[in-house]
Structure 1
Amino acid sequence: MGRRLGLLTGPSCGWSGLAASAALLMAGAAPARADRLEVLVTGVPSDLGVVACSLHRDPGGFPQGTPLAADRVPPRDGQARCVFSGLAPGRYAVAALHDADADGQLGVNFLGIPTEGWGVSGNAAPRLRAPRFDESAFDLGPDPMGLQITLR
């Protein structure tokens, strides 16, 4: 964008140059973006390790697939705040986990039941399976948004 703005300041820039520059700027305008999605994760049992949040837009990749974006923050006083910026409006879901041992994975027992705290947007908590995207999804508009996930 800096180069396009330079068209407005050149020595030979008259009204026609200004109009052409404005047209270029409008043609290159980015789609609407949300300034910020802030996720407050509560119910974190200790200040050990990190809280990892993953933002998903693909229903097929939720919650274990490759996320669109991720944030890892240290917990403090039973909570953590993950932040995602520059997102296009659309349908998203967030998964959060308390990675108490900071090994980068959700700890599970021999039955596959999580031993570390986890949660998803919408606080869906199905029994005996992972939450689905449609149970956890929310619509993000062009304005900043906050949501809360309570770990289980």
Structure 2
Amino acid sequence: MKNFILSITLVLATAVGFSQVEDNGITITVTIDNVTNDNGKVLMSLHTSETFMKGKGIQDAESAIKDGKITITFENVLPGDYAILALHDENSNGRMDFQDNGMPKESFGMSNNVMLMGPPQYDDAKFKVEDKDLELNIRF
């Protein structure tokens, strides 16, 4: 009988524990409202200093474009410093395309809407996630 009661108690404790799982982070909602056309999609990546301009971000997302606008949400982001890179992938090939002289063919942007003379820099794009949800707007 002791084992039965112990087993029931363990099952109930586990069920209560799983039902009370909380989000462990902040939500970042990013809007772009000046996409030049509705062709393709917008790709967006949330980066730390370790992943910035080195491939995939710690969270990657994409969105179809409607009337030149998109909204993407990153969830459960832990406090710290981050940067966001966004690309209008007009031909849906999953990467940025370049002209012969090295200039990008497709629109792009990053957090803080920095005007670029050269490749994006993490320190220009970084922002701090603290204790409340964020809403950001990126311009292409």
Fold shared, TM-score > 0.5 on shorter chain: yes
Aligned to 1:33: 25
Structure 2 residue 51 is matched with structure 1 residue 45: no
State the match for 1:65 in structure 2.
55
Residues 66-106 of structure 1, C-alpha deviations (whole Å, 9 max, x = no match) = 21011100011111111110111111100001001000011
Q: TM-score, normalised by structure 2?
A: 0.81
Provide the residue aligned with 2:77 in structure 1.
87
Contact 1:53 1:70 in 2 (8 A): yes
What residue is the counterpart of 1:17 in the other structure? none
Q: Secondary structure at the match of 2:29?
A: strand
Q: Deviations over 1:118-142 (max 9, x none)?
A: 0000011221x21111100000123
- Partner AA of 1:106 in structure 2: M
- Alpha-carbon distance in 2 for matches of 1:31, 1:84: 12
SS, match of residue 138 in structure 2: strand
> Which residue does 1:142 correspond to in 2?
131
- For the residues of structure 2 that align with 1:112 and 1:49, how far apart are their CA atoms? 21
The aligned residue for residue 108 of structure 1 is: 98
Q: What is aligned with 1:56?
A: 47
Query: Are residues 112 and 60 of structure 1, via their aligned partners in 2, closer, same or farther at CA, if it must alter by over 3 Å?
Result: farther
**Aligned positions, number:** 129
Which of structure 1's runs of 4+ aligned residues deviate more than 6 A?
Answer: none
1:43 deviation in Å? 1.7
Q: Which runs of 5+ in 1 are unaligned?
A: 10-20
Contact 1:31 1:88 in 2 (8 A): no
Once superposed, what is the RMSD of the aligned Cα atoms?
Answer: 2.5
Q: Deviation digits for residues 45-70 of structure 1, max 9, x if unmatched?
A: 1111100110001x243234221011
1-side partners of 2:94 and 2:10: how far apart?
42
Identity over the aligned pairs, expressed in percent?
Answer: 26
Decide which of 67, 80, 83 is 1:77's aligned counterpart: 67
Distance 1:4 1:64, change over 3 A: farther
